[in-house]
């Protein structure tokens, strides 16, 4: 709507209104923000979301306790990735901060994306099956605006879910193990403060890794009127992609799968940081977001809302 149109409609409304309180207000330039905030609040107040975040917070505790029990204070050695168990797990006993990297490496392949898949799949389909979608649309939220608000809320959720894991891991790591200067994978030792900054950067990199799946889930969510169907389809897709990614004979398609560069976040533990894979990951997630975001938009803006 052009500003002139808006003014015209406000004038019309003023003329039609009987009192000062009844004028139709001109939409604020920040018209999407209020809906985005509402979207985020509603997402975070669902018990399902809270339960998923709760489990994410507990996982680092489990890993931390397991490592504490397993190693009677022995030196794990500088294994880095590979070897048995999640990456960095051998280093935790030396420095509790490594629990952050271990916890993210352990949850990124499945649990963290599953959480995102559930929330993304539910985003539109859940509202459709509850019937609230029709009331949002006649409010009128606007289909493009609603989808944008939902996608923005999903992005925030990706970051939030990752931060929950990271924060819980920092606290557990500090409680159970010594904290101190960090020896990076490239052998350089940096102070704890820089280690914490790198941990934050890793959390952001992991959150970015989830963007592609979030867009995919949002698209799936526009296809059906059943929240459960959309959630299970999205999580099913995640599992399928992870299986395909694990089959060496299919390596032709691997570079096009969204988890292909997921473990690149470990590069942030090198000095200097080799940015290649991290940027490739961001690029791949951006492509997924663009493709499936557009598909979701095309589908959602033309769909008949019959539920």
Stretch that binds another protein, among 7-15, 114-122, 160-168, 201-209 (CB under 8 A): 7-15
CB atoms within 10 A of CB 90: 22
Nearer to another protein, 193 or 306 (CB): 306
Q: Which of 2, 4, 15, 248 binds another protein (CB under 8 A)?
A: 15
**Could you say which residues in the range 119-148 bind another protein, by CB under 8 A?**
130-132, 134-142, 145-146
CB 103 within 8 A of CB 59: yes
CB atoms within 10 A of CB 175: 13
Residue 51 binding another protein, by CB under 8 A: no
* DSSP at 89: G
Q: Measured between alpha carbons, how far is 102 from 75 in angstroms, rounded to an integer?
A: 16
Give min distance, CB of 220 to another protein, in A. 20
3-state secondary structure of 182: strand
Q: Measured between alpha carbons, how far is 129 from 133 in angstroms, rounded to an integer?
A: 8
CB 93 within 8 A of CB 73: yes
Give alpha helix (H) positions in 177-275.
192-209, 211-223, 227-246
Please tell me the count of residues contacting another protein according to CB under 8 A: 43
Residue 242 binding another protein, by CB under 8 A: no
Give min distance, CB of 122 to another protein, in A. 12
Q: How many CA atoms lie within 13 A of 173 on its CB side?
A: 27
Residue 13 binding another protein, by CB under 8 A: yes
Residue 247 binding another protein, by CB under 8 A: no
Residue 123, token pair as written in the block: 């985003």
Nearer to another protein, 12 or 75 (CB): 12
Residue 254 binding another protein, by CB under 8 A: no
Task: Write out the residues near another protein by the rule CB under 8 A.
Answer: 1, 5, 9, 12-13, 15-18, 21-22, 24-28, 31, 34-35, 37-38, 42, 45-47, 130-132, 134-142, 145-146, 302, 304-306
């Amino acid at each position: 709507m052009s500003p002139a149109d808006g003014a015209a409609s406000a004038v019309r409304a003023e003329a039609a209104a009987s009192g000062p309180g009844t004028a139709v207000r001109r939409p604020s330039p920040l018209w999407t923000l209020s809906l985005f905030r509402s979207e985020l609040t509603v997402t975070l107040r669902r018990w399902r979301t809270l339960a998923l975040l709760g489990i994410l917070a507990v996982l680092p505790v489990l890993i931390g306790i397991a490592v504490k029990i397993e190693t009677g204070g022995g030196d794990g050695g500088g294994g880095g990735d590979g070897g048995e168990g999640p990456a960095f797990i051998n280093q935790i006993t030396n420095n509790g901060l490594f629990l952050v990297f271990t916890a993210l490496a352990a949850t990124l392949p499945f649990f963290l994306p599953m959480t995102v898949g559930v929330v993304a799949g539910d985003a539109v389909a859940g509202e459709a099956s509850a019937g609230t979608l029709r009331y949002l649309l006649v409010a009128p939220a606007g289909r493009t605006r609603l989808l944008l608000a939902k996608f923005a809320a999903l992005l925030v959720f990706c970051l939030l879910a990752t931060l929950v894991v990271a924060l819980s891991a920092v606290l557990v790591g500090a409680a159970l193990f010594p904290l101190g200067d960090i020896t990076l994978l490239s052998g350089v030792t940096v102070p704890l403060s820089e280690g914490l900054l790198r941990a934050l950067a890793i959390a952001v990199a992991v959150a970015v890794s989830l963007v592609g799946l979030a867009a995919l889930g949002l698209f799936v969510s526009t296809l059906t009127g059943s929240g459960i169907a959309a959630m299970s389809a999205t999580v099913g897709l995640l599992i399928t992609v992870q299986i395909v990614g694990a089959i060496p004979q299919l390596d032709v398609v691997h570079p096009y799968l969204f988890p292909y560069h997921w473990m690149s976040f470990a590069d942030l533990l090198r000095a200097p940081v080799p940015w290649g894979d991290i940027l490739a990951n961001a690029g791949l997630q951006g492509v997924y977001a663009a493709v499936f975001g557009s598909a979701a938009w095309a589908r959602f803006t033309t769909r008949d809302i019959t539920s």
